[in-house]
Structure 1
Amino acid sequence: MSIILVRHGETPLNVARTLQPAETPLSETGLKQAQAVAQRLAGLKIAAILTSDLPRALQTAQAIAAATGAPVTTTPLLHERNFGALRGQPYDSLPYNPLTMTEAPPGGESVAAFQQRVAQAFAQMVELRGRVDGHLAVVTHGLVIRALLAQHLPLGTDAMPLRVGNTSVTICGATPPHALELVDCTRHLDAQIAHDAKSLSGG
């Protein structure tokens, strides 16, 4: 059985390229994406769900729970990197790329502190997966998944996705070396887009 990493659905601030405050919820599109990934995972033996408790991740996890019947456990260890006073600001309004800054912004986390927290989250994932009979779904945020791929999963930097897609699915083995079976897959969204197009056309 595996660990299945899922990024949360789209939010209005994802679209606006804005650093997100903690309380940002999913958009209407994000809610549909959450339903689509939930239906994708419904056919698998999901035994438990571990999720960030930030609304955009928790809403996504709740959709998966409704489709699979799996219990949900929340943890702040899976929060997105805390950008402190920069939250709420558009990326393009800043004179630097906030996603690559190594130092801590005012009131936020440095890369080192963030990576240490992600390491704790990974240990929690592996421990929980070892206690359940089935797959563990983990719902979290884009930078967390990138940090997991870079630091804890056997993905070379050349293969790192430029951006982790909303509700993308990444699957890895539950035991070392945590072999990757799938990275950043959003094929479930193709079916959602086709369904929406058919509905709009009256088909």
Structure 2
Amino acid sequence: MAEMATLWIVRHGESTANVAASAAEAAGSELIDLSHRDADVPLSDTGREQAQATARWLAGLPEDRRPDVAVVSPYLRAVQTADLALDGTGIPVSRDERLRDRELGILDGLTAHGVRRRYPDEAARRDRLGKFYYRPPGGEAWTDVALRLRALLGDLRRDHEGRRVLLFGHDALVFLTRYLVEGLTEEELMALTRRYVIANCSVTGWSADADGRLRPDVFNDVGHLHAQGARPTREDEVHAEPV
């Protein structure tokens, strides 16, 4: 099977919705104070700093490690992250809707408390089905996101065999890229989601081994943010480690 030489995925920088969601959860609110649809949520000032720190990390990579191509979620927070991180690199960039964030349907804009209060039956159904297979009305299950990501990875393998590919996406996409590339089970994937929060502008990556199979290099790494003096978000304080 054709394979890329290297694959990275970077979560977008901190967004204004990340800030609003943290504030709403801390206050025990049912609703997150959002003024944009999900696709149009921009980066916060901290998110822009994180993206600029990611640019400095990319600039510091050896020539034989720098990405050949970048593929970006069309959501504004990912586009802005990629624009800042790739500015001046000359790396070809394309957008692909299969990298968009998971769609939450009727639960969009609600905190965990809000879901339990407004849709108790849905909260109970989610508990029964489990995080992986639960699909909110009008939204996507993790399995739905995996299907579109699986198709994207197949195209990347075909079109960029032997090349270094950099993705910009969202937290669920990071977890699911591990699931697909490493052949994880549902149980292994869910264990990762319980242990880790994917940090803003974290880097997760794989490199092809001697047999041409992608093997994990790093997961949820934010060392470049600290090294470049970018302000960490609260999520940056959770586990990040090489694998």
Is 1:190 the counterpart of 2:207? The answer is no
Quick check: 1:4–1:172 contact (8 Å CA) kept in 2? yes
The match for 2:171 is: 142
The match for 1:12 is: 16
Match runs of 1:101-140 below 5 Å: 102-130=133-161, 132=163, 135-140=164-169
Q: Which letter does structure 2 place at the counterpart of 1:36?
A: A
What TM-score, normalized to structure 2?
0.70
Unaligned runs of 5+ in 1: 197-203
Q: 1:167 aligns with which of 201, 205, 209?
A: 201
Cα separation, partners in 2 of 1:155 and 1:41, compared to 1, 3 Å: farther
**Which is greater in Rg?**
2
| Structure 1 residue ranges (4+ consecutive) displaced by more than 6 angstroms after TM superposition | none
**Higher mean displacement: 28-37 or 119-128:** 119-128
The match for 1:81 is: 102
**Higher mean displacement: 154-163 or 117-126:** 154-163
- Give a deviation string over 1:10-33, Cα, whole Å, max 9, x none: 112213335972221111111110
Unaligned runs of 5+ in 2: 22-31, 117-122, 233-243
Quick check: 2:225–2:231 contact (8 Å CA) kept in 1? no
CA distance in 1 between counterparts of 2:213 and 2:53 reads: 30
Task: Determine which structure has the larger helix proportion and give its number.
Answer: 2
Quick check: 2:53–2:229 contact (8 Å CA) kept in 1? no
Cα separation, partners in 2 of 1:195 and 1:145, compared to 1, 3 Å: closer
> What is the root-mean-square deviation in Å for CA atoms of aligned residues?
2.8
CA distance in 1 between counterparts of 2:90 and 2:98 reads: 23
**Higher mean displacement: 185-194 or 51-60:** 185-194
The CA deviation at 1:64 is: 2.2
Q: Which letter does structure 2 place at the counterpart of 1:87?
A: D
**Number of paired residues?**
194
Give the % identical residues: 30
Quick check: 2:132–2:143 contact (8 Å CA) kept in 1? no
The CA deviation at 1:131 is: 6.8
- Give a deviation string over 1:76-100, Cα, whole Å, max 9, x none: 0111111122222223322247992
Q: 1:54 aligns with which of 68, 71, 75?
A: 75
CA distance in 1 between counterparts of 2:9 and 2:108 reads: 24
